[in-house]
Amino acid sequence: AMVQRIVREADYITVHSPLTSETRGIIGAKQFEMMKPTARLINCARGGIIDEAALVEALKSKRIAGAALDVFSKEPLAADHPLRSLDNVVLTPHLGAATAEAQENVAIELAQQIVDLLQGGMIRNAVNAPAVDPAALEAMRPYLRLAEQLGKFISQLPDGRIVRLNILYGGTVLDYPMVPLTTAVAKGFLEVRLDPPINYVNALRRLKQMGVELTDTRSSKIFSYTNLITIEAITDEGRAYNVSGTLFSPELPRIVIVNEKDVDTLPYGNLVVIENRDLPGTIGAVATLIGSRGINIAQVAWGRTRPGGDAMTVINLDDAPPPELIEEIRRLPNILWAKTFTV
């Protein structure tokens, strides 16, 4: 309806659209019949959007006043093409990207893409990396950051050699392509294990070289969160570890499940992760020990399977704890295991 209104009312009509199955031939004989005889048509977007045969007839019959074209259905335009014989059309050989302004903008855009890459951002328009529409990329950046953080977390959680990663996506994260997200998980997983550079180009390949099998699955299951990324790590001894994360908002990522226990913690910074008996004074003793070393606790989150059973505790610290502190925590009563790592 909008196209019909434009062609009926406009004096100058310019095309600004990609060529898709919906836009191919969108301006044809029917639309030319609706145009004013004084209308002029300009297309510097894509050839094929305008029906060239219908345009030739409209120009020959003076149904419209004129046209200016920089793009064509088949390029270069054939020497005997009917458009070349008309005096009410201006033709240029696809010069849109060859102007000084266009070349400068291309250089600026390329430089910005390199800056994004070097600062750890997603690679755009590379021939050997996942391709993502720029608008979609901007919208999914928070999910990419979360996926990287979860990859770092699961990389450091298990004991033993990890031989398989299973990734499950659910909720609104399904609105985005999986390949960049899975690549982000692999990137985060490897960054804490291998020397740089680890990036969106080589992460999946280097993960495979390490002998780590990778699967990713989209789930239509209804979760307790509007979006959820879950990573399960399987060790060479067959033990399974898992972590789940969500976005409460673009700027509020959270780890919400660790080894099947509900927690609610920040997925970055210096972390102490503890599995302990759910008994009085256990976490208090840990907090007292950390404080005695002059390290401030930023946040504590814990979850349990049942009262008095096993619990998972995640402590965010303002500073990295020394190795001897973790050894002291492990020796405390009711501590099953304890680890420290940075996400």
Catalytic residue IDs: 46, 75, 94
DSSP track, 64-133: SSEEEES--SSSSPPTT-GGGG-SSEEE-SS-TTSSHHHHHHHHHHHHHHHHHHHTT----S-TTS----
pLDDT band at 328 (very low <50, low <70, confident <90, very high): very high
- Report yes or no on whether pTM surpasses 0.85: no
Q: pLDDT tens-digit profile of 195-211?
A: 888 988 899 999 999 99
Alpha-helical segments (H) within the chain: 2-9, 29-34, 52-60, 100-118, 134-156, 178-191, 203-209, 282-292, 323-330
How much is the pLDDT for 80? 95
pLDDT band at 293 (very low <50, low <70, confident <90, very high): very high
Domains for the chain: give ranges and CATH numbers.
2-91 (3.40.50.720), 131-267 (3.30.1330.90), 269-343 (3.30.70.260)
Give every CB contact of residue 220 below 8 A, 6+ residues apart in sequence: 170, 174
How much is the pLDDT for 127? 72
Alpha-carbon gap, residue 74 to 76, rounded angstroms: 6
Alpha-carbon gap, residue 181 to 38, rounded angstroms: 52
Of 119-123, 146-150, 183-187, minimum mean pLDDT range: 119-123
Residue 213 CB: number of other CB atoms within 10 A?
12
